[in-house]
Structure 1
């Protein structure tokens, strides 16, 4: 892909284009939604299809607003979710990430309420946030909206749509490690009934990691056509393109042969100089909305998503000797992936009268397909060199000084899998009294998977009904208490002793909470207690434990459970003070390894303050903290004085502090300075796997924003 030049000429042309645009409101186009000022959001569309405020939703909900994203330059999905209450971002590699909440992987990611679980519960590459207005996180199982997945959370990205006026925002950022970013975001009304929103992002940066660098781009176009007085048709297309060199696949070894912990420099990178991971993601969405005379609404959405991955990767494994650093081996792999999603969702929503009260109702259908084909090739003859010490690794020569140049013609394997989901769902909010409401719903899911993945059959066929129940009681006009129960399920491919696939893993989520609007409704505070469990998780049948892996069979047992509480406030605490603060504490039972490597206490706070003494000056801080984690790595081998001793990798509790300062010269021009990890905290990103790498040291950036 040809990159757009990051040059003053390009910026000047963009400004000139905007200057020629008419700066006038087009009253005939109906713009749905509202601008969220500051860190306080009052609505979240991802929890149900009903028009409910956050206060009325009987689940824990966080919203990361555009203001918070812009203040702290949260330009990737990983950075956004770093700030979300209860969410832990597991950066296992530079370009592969898992996300967890309440002890379970987050697999459900949606765009405007429509989506499928991630292919393998993880995200590849770095999705840019520039095309989104905000990000919603609905914690717990979200049975009505998703059904398939884990009882952890659902992340819903709300896309930008045309504004009421012609506009163009231009942002230029320069930062540490030669980071350069250009972002253009504009609305233009082509006619009285046709409007467009476009976003262009180009970013280039090197890294604190040796040899690692990344170019990424995002392109987005949203067209909205008013059809008569009651219908709106929109068509959008987005592209996320990520091109990474010297990508980490695997990560650093965490202990030496004598069992002591490694302590590398933060810049250590196990990758080869020639390795890369290129990812191109595109999403086309067609949406029709129609408003009936009785205030009922019909919305139909079709989305086609595709992902293409092209890689050459280098994996380092083994345990180094403490004195020499020797003992590591590397191998190369070529990995390609083509992933296609087709999603159709249609629902009807509106109100009705019964028992002297007004109620809301939603009924909808959903049909989704996902096809993915993966291939992996290796170089068994030349691609497994003995590695020098990582302290001397230049990314290209092995222990004997020979240049590594793999040829991929061995061990062809991969996946060819098709998934299909058909669902019918409904929900209704019944006003049982002036103060008491019940949210009832359910989703009938038909889930089918066919194909093979790396030699293992993926065939499964499940049909499950997922119920939902939520109760809300208004204690006062601004305070409510709630209780909710919902479920999820996951199909399994493991076979039982009768060679039949196991029944799905079922997840349950129970939650009790209280929410309140404070300070003239400018801030929402919430507290929730939750209890989450997964059942029928596959484990090896003891009767087949001594058989070869291909002949072993499985039984379903009670799985992982967690229970705990969350506290969150978001909004304006005092005049000029915007805050988003969340604390999560829970305990995991049923899997000691998951319990050890998952932080069970998370604290996150972001705040900005407009200084009244200096008009236009805003200062802020963003802080995230987690408690200690660990991972058992085995035992020390014979030949050492401590042979047989258990090897445990530990990451002590740590916090990362970011600071920001912005000066708004006038309504059009602003300058922002950001300092990340200002205390230069050294920490391992994750112990989700037996390997890991360090987070970024202190770094800085300056951003210039100009609005027309």
Structure 2
């Protein structure tokens, strides 16, 4: 069923506006250390003033928040050099700035007291970070603040779980366009494909079933959620945060895998604009315009808009993509203590020649010798989807460090899907089975939380209180194919693959998830070195599924989810931590009597977090154990269960345990060098049930290594870098066959030339060594699921910033 098209005229305007702006390459560079420039910074808190000065002078700021806490900066205005402006902003603060090219390190002024001098080593890189953790404009591969785990104002070091961030700078350097691209760089996270646009994300051996957008959960738990939800555009996000392990305190239901939080870009208090034009392999063209700033003279109302257009072919025969997006948000100060925002996004994402089923293996599990461009989709296959979102929040500063936030997020997704999957009927004979589906997903989430300090026994502690509720209604119609087509895999012709007719009356399915919860957590400072985080969530979830074959529902009742953590500072540079968290998930497996009881998840973790080079480099080492209980066990009986009334029946009884290690490094070992690296080893096994002792989900790699780096050459004009992602083998053994993809490593490279402070040209080469690999392998030797990795590709991006 076709969806109504919307025309974004501003997309064409973005390209038109970008061309003359890109030509203005002779403007003076702001970040030259000796060049004077107009500076205007009003009197305000010192941390805010430094961020504003860094933005105006195009500097990368590094300062520990504790150094500027409670200090005020005077007004600074005039035609000043960065050195002069910094000295005036820091006047009377007891702080000094070291200016190295475009990088600034703020630390305590030298003193004759050796006890004070010793504290210089505690300076931590936050790269222009503010309380929200914004990474835009920092030029860094790390940030200081992450609230995804607890909502409290804690640094990564103070959070007793494994935390990673992919910043705006890292996304730009690697030319990340989709969540798949971001995942390629995320430590400990991987993904598999069941369709070129259907990705399933995993961490610590288990699937990530819920994403967050600005800290509010968005369900991806249904089998077809990825068909309806479009996640192939990072243009509107400032950063991506990940907390590995269970996140039941804030999320409620899910797996003890990880939570991925996509954080949207927000309006800025000063005008800024960026424009991009890009071109890449297989006629991949894109244009983007991002404009932000005040909407009135007082700056009390601010706005931001992003328009994006992408037209692309693919290395896959007959595949084309047309992706358009409009994003807008307005933020207003309703008083001295209250700020409100309201925004929306609209995205059209169309794919022709859509490859859903991939390829089969041979009967023995080996791969067919096919060109990487081969596709069984046919020109008539497609996945067309429209995504709309409306969101907003009100933030009120209650005083004494307390903040109250009320937020909502709504998503509507409509998708039309026609595609096929292969079934082997002989050694080379493949029957193509077609599906015509119409999806509609409507999600709404609300969140109310308060955070702030309190004093007890002479020490200051922190408290978080939260109420949340969300609902997901996922409906879809399936139209049965009237006939199929058999092809010879060794000599088929793409153009001869045809779409059959479909029934006029669909089979209708309806799925509904509801969840509500109340959470409380506190950070207790037992001593100067030891702190505890203790919390709990009361959660209620229910799930209902309706089809012509079943009408099942399940109510979890009240679930109590504990959270406990401890952090002990060994020194100013090193801290030990330990944590325990729970989570649960309503599952989609059926017994003869209906849905199975929820899966229970537990996460145990101990580790150490450290800082080096005056805090510019952060490291983390974690040992973890994750458990899942009540996993399904197939019953030896007729297949009479599930939404279709013809799938296998199950009971609870299996348990999986995964033990492993996470290693991570992020930051700037030296000025001008960004680094982010991670290594994860995990070994999930069944520890109860009929598969006791056997490995679990062997189609995921056990060892994953990722490193991303970028280095600014002397002179500041050239930047060079790249990333490597390496993983161990994946395999699946069935009755009489074995499917295996050996371990492999991929190399991606980038180089950028900065013409001046505004104009930058960048080249990205992905899979530079042109490695032939299979990104995903199936759990059977029939019905598709084999997806080849993308060959070597090139992309050129011209970016103008003002």
TM-score by length of 1: 0.91
Q: Do 1:458 and 1:493's aligned partners in 2 also have CA atoms closer than 8 Å?
A: no
Is the 2:405–2:450 contact (alpha carbons within 8 Å) kept by the matching residues of 1? yes
User: 1:184·1:200 contact (CA, 8 Å) conserved in 2?
Assistant: yes
Cα deviation code 1:353-405 (max 9, x no counterpart): 0011100001111111111110110223xx311223354322434xxxxxx34
Per the alignment, residue 572 of structure 2 pairs with 477
Structure-2 separation of matches of 1:16 and 1:281: 34
Partner of 2:661: 565
User: What is the aligned partner in structure 1 of residue 502 from structure 2?
Assistant: 408
Conserved? CA contact 2:389–2:410, under 8 Å: yes
1:573 partner SS: coil
Give secondary structure in 2 for the equivalent of 1:69: helix
Q: Summarize deviations over 1:307-365 as a string: whole Å, max 9, x none.
A: 111122122221552xxx3x111132211111001111001111110011100001111
- Structure 1: which 5+ runs fail to align? 398-403, 635-645
In 2: Cα distance, 1:433 partner to 1:660 partner: 47
Residue 129 (structure 1) aligns with: 234
Match of residue 68, structure 1, among 141, 151, 170: 170
Superimposed CA distance per residue, residues 112-157 of structure 1 (whole angstroms, 9 cap, x where no aligned partner):
1111331426533443111111000100001111120000000011
Q: Deviations over 1:70-92 (max 9, x none)?
A: 00100111100111000012123
- The equivalent of 1:676 in structure 2 is 766
1:343 aligned residue: 445
Deviating runs (4+, > 6 A) in structure 1? 13-17, 22-31
Check if 1:180 corresponds to 2:274. Answer: no
| Contact residue 103 and residue 588 of structure 1 kept, 8 A | yes
| Counterpart pick for 1:631 among 726, 732, 735 | 732
Question: Which residue among 738, 741, 744 is the counterpart of 1:651?
Answer: 741
CA spacing shift, 1:44–1:194, aligned 2, 3 Å: same
3-state DSSP of counterpart to 2:282: coil
2:51 aligns to what?
none
SS of residue in 1 equivalent to 2:172: helix
Q: Give secondary structure in 1 for the equivalent of 2:488.
A: coil
- Look up the match of 1:261: 367
Aligned to 2:708: 606
TM superposition shift of 1:425:
0.8
Unpaired runs of at least 5, structure 2: 1-5, 28-37, 49-129
- Post-superposition shift, 1:27? 8.2
Counterpart of 1:366 (choices 468, 476, 484) is 468
Report which stretch shifted further, 466-475 or 120-129.
120-129
- Partner of 2:423, secondary structure, is strand
Flag the 1:496–1:681 CA change in 2: closer, same or farther, 3 A. Answer: closer
Which of 765, 777, 784 is matched with 1:687 structurally?
777
Matched, 1:225 2:343: no
Partner Cα distance (2:41, 2:325) in 1: 28
Shift of 1:40: 2.0
- Provide the residue aligned with 1:638 in structure 2: none
Give the count of matched residue pairs: 677
Asked whether the equivalents of residues 639 and 649 of structure 2 are also in contact (C-alpha less than 8 Å), the reply is no
1:280-330 deviation digits (Å, cap 9, x = unpaired): 112111200000122211100011111111122122221552xxx3x1111
Looking at structure 2, the residues matched to 473 and 115 of structure 1 have their Cα atoms a distance apart, in angstroms, of 31
Segment drifting more, 204-213 vs 532-541:
532-541
Corresponding residue of 1:394: 494
Q: 1:259 to 1:466 in 2, by over 3 A?
A: closer
Deviation at 1:496, TM superposition (A): 5.7
| Cα drift, residue 501 of structure 1 | 4.9
Q: Give the Cα separation in 2 of the matches to 1:303 and 1:155.
A: 16
Q: CA RMSD in A?
A: 2.5
The alignment partner of 1:237 has SS state of strand
Q: Residues 659-704 of structure 1: CA distance to partner in whole angstroms, max 9, x if unpaired? A: 0001111100111011110100001111245421211111111111
Q: Pairwise mapping of residues 575-590 of structure 1 onto structure 2 (< 5 A)? A: 575-590=671-686
Using the alignment, how far apart are the partners of 1:685 and 1:66 within structure 2? 26
After superposition, the Cα gap between the structure-2 partners of 1:492 and 1:209, relative to the gap in structure 1 and judged at 3 Å, is: closer
SS in 1 for 2:434: strand
SS where residue 366 of structure 1 aligns? strand
Say if 1:169 and 1:428 are closer, same or farther in 2 by CA, change over 3 A: same
Shift of residue 261, structure 1, vs aligned partner: 3.1
Deviates more, 1:369-378 or 1:445-454: 445-454
Aligned-pair CA distance for 1:611 = 1.1
Task: Provide the residue aligned with 1:455 in structure 2.
Answer: 549
1:553, CA displacement in angstroms? 5.8
What is residue 652 of structure 2 aligned with on the other side? 556
User: Does residue 416 of structure 2 align to residue 313 of structure 1?
Assistant: no
1:2 maps to 2:13: no
